[in-house]
């Protein structure tokens, strides 16, 4: 039976559903009259207060642009640059308010914090082009609005960095001209040359630089050749083995100086020396790295058994069970409540996360995404990326319904204000509830079997930064647990495989094609969790499981001493970096300093390396030559520091341009300040922040060709309630069944004999609900929550969304991991 698109307006009955995809919803049995499938009432759902972290609207951005053009008239500032050397307003977005201003608004009904914009000015001078942060506010723009240098978030005391490459187009022209001048070399060694008239020529070469700040007054670019043309996504699988070093210190591209050349393990002082060596009879030539079907991500022709049938899919027949206020970015789901927003550098952030009305987190947000390579060639040997520079939010593009997210997910848009224009990124955040393939809990007893479905809520975005796609999930579980999970896919950034006597085989990766090495690298992705466990006053402890030898009186006289284990608590008393403990021998727990549960235990949340390929990593490289002080947060797994308004972030996207003297040096944040509090003389009130890393030590192999697979590159950190509640909170919300195998009365409770008389009053009382009523247990299926009790009807779009109609983007602007698309190279040939 064939189902075509022309019936999508109709409804599929369960019989058609069964014939089409081999699935059938069985009606629930044994609970007549229990079905209640009214969708959650979301029409009137509103956030309790305004989202003070929300992004700048297009109207606000236009007002800020107009204000600044007048305010900076002496600089001849333009909204949208027409040349590379104009002064222009690069970005406008919201400046996140101080926590000290927000908490009184949230919890004491104080006035709403002032709204300010954060602006990056691209100021170009002949000597020192700069990118400069300013704050504009209060908003809306009025006579009281002012523009001031934004300095308080930066440990450097500066609000600017030197722009490595103000003239991206100029650098591209320089590289292409250089390649044209050596077309005889590239034709001989690579059987290809650049095509400036048609950059999409599949037989043409590309050229890209890797810039390194060797010292404050020296900027070096290593330029490497790639193929094929600009139309290929597989460029990073196709590096070629020719490299040239350029002194790019001057802000004027015309003053750059071409230096050494590197080929097949040999350095040549200049191009003439390189040419002479090529004419030598003992010159060793390496094969070029050539494109072909091996870089294609799809195989439309293969027909293995089973591919002719569509796979199972998740559906949501009766609508969502969560509530969403899209206007304010506010959500509610089974006790969880939170706000969400998105920024250009870091993408989606969550704020004011509460569970069952209690405070859990003030902020949960991405800070930076680092990829650091190693290798024996000039490109891979020191290559690193700090991806917020290119924009994890700027490059969070539209999601594919039915693939990135279930077809029934809710979608939100974000807006970018750059170069005088507003760009809408449609449907680039999705929200959905999902039921796992494994249960939340289960138990088999003598006369019953109980199973609880594991459903969870996910907020998802995908950031495509050059060659890699990062799927970022914030996941919420029914017991109050929160998980941050990142999965990576896309093309690896390979290295040219030069088979020569100087090469150390497999020291930096594996050979994975004719002339391609896998190029080992670390992914270290930093997040911030500003925990407020039942309030802002918190403590971090290491709860250790330690072996011990102890004598017990009840062992005597047979066992004098017993080898066993016990718990020992070690308070973390000062700011520090921690690593995941050996053998999982310690629990890292953030406790409330003063709030306890019903049993007198401090309310807490455990911080634990979560689900994925293994423990989350920190950077393997010690004192990275390339990174300098720009990413010291990557040197440990977890950090605990004081919360300070002047330290809102652990990294800044412009650190990428000044790694030796970054705007934010994390060592000035985690600088061993005391975490002791409670004394009247202490200025610290116990408000702490956790920075944590996810990622992987990636040693790509043949299975990463053509694309890395998400299930082999996922990692996460979880925040798990630890004595936070009096008992498991999921019991109130979970959906499941108790299959009573024997007994027809009110039995099924612990200690009840189904063959005996009516249970005693103590056991009977355990079956009463809060209103004094009583659920009558019976043989068969006893459901907690509402089961499916009738045939399900759904449109075809619920199984397979109509992507040509639903996907709004016609062309996607992507970054090439050069300076294009970043703050340094926003100016294009056709703005």
SS3 of residue 259 by DSSP = strand
Comparing 225 with 84, the larger pLDDT belongs to 225
Please indicate, yes or no, if residue 652 is contained in any of the structural domains.
no
Categorize the per-residue pLDDT at 410 as very low, low, confident or very high, splitting at 50, 70 and 90: very high
Catalytic residue at 387? yes
Which pLDDT score is estimated for 461? 98
- Among 105, 85, 88, smallest CA distance to 97 is for 105
Catalytic residue among 167, 387, 473, 479, which? 387
Mean pLDDT of 533-560: 96
SS3 of residue 692 by DSSP = strand
Categorize the per-residue pLDDT at 742 as very low, low, confident or very high, splitting at 50, 70 and 90: confident
Mean pLDDT of 355-378: 96
Categorize the per-residue pLDDT at 16 as very low, low, confident or very high, splitting at 50, 70 and 90: very low
Catalytic residue among 268, 322, 373, 468, which? 468
Q: How far apart are CA 618 and CA 184, in angstroms?
A: 45
% of the chain with per-residue pLDDT over 90: 72
Please indicate, yes or no, if residue 706 is contained in any of the structural domains.
no
- Residue 589's beta-bridge partner residues? 541, 606
Please indicate, yes or no, if residue 685 is contained in any of the structural domains.
no
Q: What is the pLDDT of residues 642-661, one digit of tens each?
A: 999 999 999 999 999 999 99
Which pLDDT score is estimated for 197? 82
Comparing 156 with 755, the larger pLDDT belongs to 156
Mean pLDDT of 100-118: 96
| Residues of the domain holding 190 | 168-295
Categorize the per-residue pLDDT at 239 as very low, low, confident or very high, splitting at 50, 70 and 90: very high
Which pLDDT score is estimated for 749? 53
Mean pLDDT of 338-355: 98
Interhelix angle for 168-181 vs 183-190, to 10°? 70
Judge whether residue 766 has pLDDT over 70.
no
Comparing 484 with 11, the larger pLDDT belongs to 484
Which pLDDT score is estimated for 774? 66
Mean pLDDT of 399-421: 95
Which pLDDT score is estimated for 683? 86
Listing DSSP states for 567-609 in one string gives EEEEE--B-EEE-PPGGG-EEEEEEEEEEE-TTSPEEEEEEEE
Judge whether residue 200 has pLDDT over 60.
yes
Q: How far apart are CA 302 and CA 648, in angstroms?
A: 51
Q: How far apart are CA 579 and CA 142, in angstroms?
A: 50
Which pLDDT score is estimated for 219? 86
Which pLDDT score is estimated for 5? 36
Judge whether residue 33 has pLDDT over 90.
no
Q: What is the pLDDT of residues 685-698, one digit of tens each?
A: 999 999 999 999 99
Which pLDDT score is estimated for 566? 96
Which pLDDT score is estimated for 196? 82
CA 317 to chain centroid:
30
Mean pLDDT of 767-775: 56
Please indicate, yes or no, if residue 240 is contained in any of the structural domains.
yes
Judge whether residue 54 has pLDDT over 80.
yes
Please indicate, yes or no, if residue 423 is contained in any of the structural domains.
no
Mean pLDDT of 290-301: 90
Please indicate, yes or no, if residue 177 is contained in any of the structural domains.
yes
Mean pLDDT of 477-488: 97
Residue 723 DSSP code: S
Q: How far apart are CA 575 and CA 684, in angstroms?
A: 12
Categorize the per-residue pLDDT at 743 as very low, low, confident or very high, splitting at 50, 70 and 90: confident
- Residue 783's beta-bridge partner residues? 737
Judge whether residue 199 has pLDDT over 80.
no
CA 69 vs CA 57, 75, 78, 130, 138: distances in Å: 18, 9, 7, 18, 17
Residue 820 DSSP code: B
Mean pLDDT of 375-401: 93
Of 111-120, 124-133, 537-546, 817-826, least confident by mean pLDDT is: 817-826
Mean pLDDT of 297-311: 91
Judge whether residue 29 has pLDDT over 50.
no
Please indicate, yes or no, if residue 246 is contained in any of the structural domains.
yes
Quote the number of domains for the chain: 1
Q: What is the pLDDT of residues 425-464, one digit of tens each?
A: 999 999 999 999 999 999 999 999 999 999 999 999 999 9
Tokens of 73: 């008239």
Phi-psi region of 442 (alpha: psi -120 to 50; beta: other; left: phi over 0): beta
Which pLDDT score is estimated for 249? 87
Judge whether residue 413 has pLDDT over 90.
yes
- Among 704, 720, 296, 648, smallest CA distance to 523 is for 704
Categorize the per-residue pLDDT at 38 as very low, low, confident or very high, splitting at 50, 70 and 90: low
Looking at every residue in the chain, the average pLDDT score rounds to 88
Which pLDDT score is estimated for 621? 94
Q: How far apart are CA 591 and CA 571, in angstroms?
A: 10
Judge whether residue 26 has pLDDT over 50.
no
Judge whether residue 751 has pLDDT over 70.
no
Mean pLDDT of 397-419: 96
Which pLDDT score is estimated for 169? 77
Which residues, in sequence order, are CB contacts of 281 under 8 Å at separation 6+?
none
Comparing 753 with 309, the larger pLDDT belongs to 309
Categorize the per-residue pLDDT at 753 as very low, low, confident or very high, splitting at 50, 70 and 90: low
Categorize the per-residue pLDDT at 748 as very low, low, confident or very high, splitting at 50, 70 and 90: very low
Which pLDDT score is estimated for 526? 98
Which pLDDT score is estimated for 14? 32
Which pLDDT score is estimated for 612? 76
Judge whether residue 401 has pLDDT over 90.
yes
Which pLDDT score is estimated for 767? 47
- Residue 423's beta-bridge partner residues? 416
Which pLDDT score is estimated for 731? 93
Which pLDDT score is estimated for 823? 44
Categorize the per-residue pLDDT at 253 as very low, low, confident or very high, splitting at 50, 70 and 90: confident
Comparing 280 with 765, the larger pLDDT belongs to 280
Which pLDDT score is estimated for 831? 33
Catalytic residue at 63? no
Q: How far apart are CA 329 and CA 23, in angstroms?
A: 36
Q: How far apart are CA 251 and CA 225, in angstroms?
A: 23
Categorize the per-residue pLDDT at 202 as very low, low, confident or very high, splitting at 50, 70 and 90: confident
CA 149 to chain centroid:
30
Listing DSSP states for 646-673 in one string gives T---S--GGGGG-SSS-S--GGGTSS--
- Identify which of 32-41, 70-79, 358-367, 785-794 has the greatest average pLDDT: 358-367
Tokens 């308004």 locate to 645
Specify the CATH number for the domain of residue 205. Answer: 3.10.450.40
Judge whether residue 760 has pLDDT over 80.
no
Please indicate, yes or no, if residue 256 is contained in any of the structural domains.
yes
């Amino acid at each position: 039976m064939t189902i075509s698109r022309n019936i999508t307006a109709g409804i599929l009955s369960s019989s058609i559903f069964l014939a089409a995809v081999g699935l059938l919803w069985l009606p629930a049995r044994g609970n007549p009259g229990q079905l209640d499938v009214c969708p959650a009432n979301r029409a009137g759902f509103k956030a309790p207060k305004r989202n003070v972290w929300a992004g700048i609207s297009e109207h606000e951005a236009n007002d800020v642009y107009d204000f600044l053009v007048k305010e900076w008239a002496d600089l001849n500032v333009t909204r949208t640059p027409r040349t590379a050397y104009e002064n222009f307003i690069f970005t406008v977005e919201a400046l996140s308010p101080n926590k000290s201003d927000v908490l009184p608004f949230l919890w004491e009904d104080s006035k709403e914090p002032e709204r300010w914009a954060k602006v990056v000015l691209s100021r170009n001078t002949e000597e020192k082009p700069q990118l400069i942060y300013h704050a504009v506010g209060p908003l809306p723009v009025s006579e009281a609005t002012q523009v001031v240098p934004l300095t308080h978030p930066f440990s450097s005391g500066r609000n600017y960095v030197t722009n490595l490459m103000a003239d991206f187009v100029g650098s591209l022209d320089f590289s292409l001209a250089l390649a044209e001048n050596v077309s005889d070399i590239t034709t001989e060694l690579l059987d290809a040359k650049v095509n400036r008239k048609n950059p999409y020529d599949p037989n043409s070469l590309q050229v890209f630089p890797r810039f390194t700040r060797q010292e404050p007054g020296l900027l070096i670019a290593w330029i490497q050749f790639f193929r094929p043309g600009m139309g290929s996504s597989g460029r990073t699988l196709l590096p070629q083995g020719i490299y040239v070093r350029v002194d790019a210190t001057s802000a004027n591209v015309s003053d750059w100086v071409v230096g050494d050349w590197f080929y097949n393990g040999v350095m040549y002082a200049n191009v003439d020396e390189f040419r002479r060596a090529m004419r030598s009879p003992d010159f060793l030539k390496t094969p070029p790295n050539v494109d072909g079907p091996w870089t294609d991500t799809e195989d439309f022709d293969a027909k293995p058994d089973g591919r002719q049938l569509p796979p199972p899919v998740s559906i949501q027949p009766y609508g969502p069970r969560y509530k969403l206020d899209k206007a304010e970015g506010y959500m509610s789901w089974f006790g969880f409540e939170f706000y969400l927003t998105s920024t250009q550098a870091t993408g989606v952030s969550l704020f004011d996360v509460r569970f069952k009305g209690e405070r859990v987190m003030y902020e949960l947000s991405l800070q930076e995404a680092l990829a650091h390579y190693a290798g024996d060639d000039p490109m891979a040997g020191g290559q690193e990326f700090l991806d917020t520079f290119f924009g994890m939010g700027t490059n969070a593009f539209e999601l594919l319904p039915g693939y990135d997210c279930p077809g029934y997910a809710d979608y939100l848009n974000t807006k970018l204000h750059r170069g005088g224009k507003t760009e809408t990124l449609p449907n680039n955040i999705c929200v959905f509830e999902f039921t796992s393939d494994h249960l939340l809990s289960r138990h088999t007893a003598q006369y019953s079997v109980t199973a609880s479905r594991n459903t969870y809520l996910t907020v998802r975005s995908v950031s495509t930064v050059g060659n890699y796609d990062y799927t970022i999930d914030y996941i919420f579980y029914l017991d109050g647990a929160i998980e941050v999970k990142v999965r990576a896919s896309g093309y690896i950034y390979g290295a040219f495989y030069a088979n020569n006597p100087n090469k150390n085989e497999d020291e930096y990766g594996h050979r994975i094609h004719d002339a391609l090495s896998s190029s080992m690298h670390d992914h270290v992705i930093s997040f911030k969790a500003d925990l407020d466990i039942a309030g802002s006053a918190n403590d971090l402890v290491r709860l250790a499981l330690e072996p011990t030898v102890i004598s017990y009186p009840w062992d005597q006289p047979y066992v004098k001493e017993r080898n066993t284990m016990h718990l020992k608590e070690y308070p973390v008393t000062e700011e520090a970096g921690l690593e995941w403990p050996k053998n999982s021998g310690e629990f890292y727990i953030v406790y409330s300093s003063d709030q306890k549960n019903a049993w007198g235990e401090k309310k807490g949340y455990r911080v634990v390396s979560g689900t994925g390929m293994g423990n989350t990593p920190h950077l393997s490289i010690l004192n990275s030559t390339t990174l300098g002080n720009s990413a010291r947060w990557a040197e440990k797994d977890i950090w605990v520091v004081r919360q300070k308004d002047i330290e809102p972030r652990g990294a800044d996207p412009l650190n990428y341009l000044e790694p030796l003297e970054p705007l934010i040096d994390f060592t000035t944040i985690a600088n061993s300040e005391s975490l002791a509090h409670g004394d009247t003389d202490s200025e610290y009130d116990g408000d702490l922040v956790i920075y944590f890393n996810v990622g992987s030590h990636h040693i790509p192999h043949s299975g990463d060709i053509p694309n890395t697979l998400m299930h082999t590159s996922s990692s996460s950190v979880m925040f798990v309630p630890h004595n936070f509640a009096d008992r498991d909170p999921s019991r109130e919300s979970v959906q499941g069944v108790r299959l009573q195998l024997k007994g027809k009365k009110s039995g099924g409770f612990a200690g009840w004999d189904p063959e005996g008389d009516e249970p005693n009053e103590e056991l009977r009382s355990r079956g009463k609900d809060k209103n004094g009523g009583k659920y009558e247990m019976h043989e068969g299926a006893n459901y907690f929550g509402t089961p499916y009790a009738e045939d399900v009807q759904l449109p075809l779009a619920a199984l397979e969304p109509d992507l040509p109609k639903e996907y709004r983007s016609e062309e996607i602007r992507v970054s090439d991991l050069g300076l294009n698309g970043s703050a340094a190279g926003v100016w294009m040939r056709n703005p």
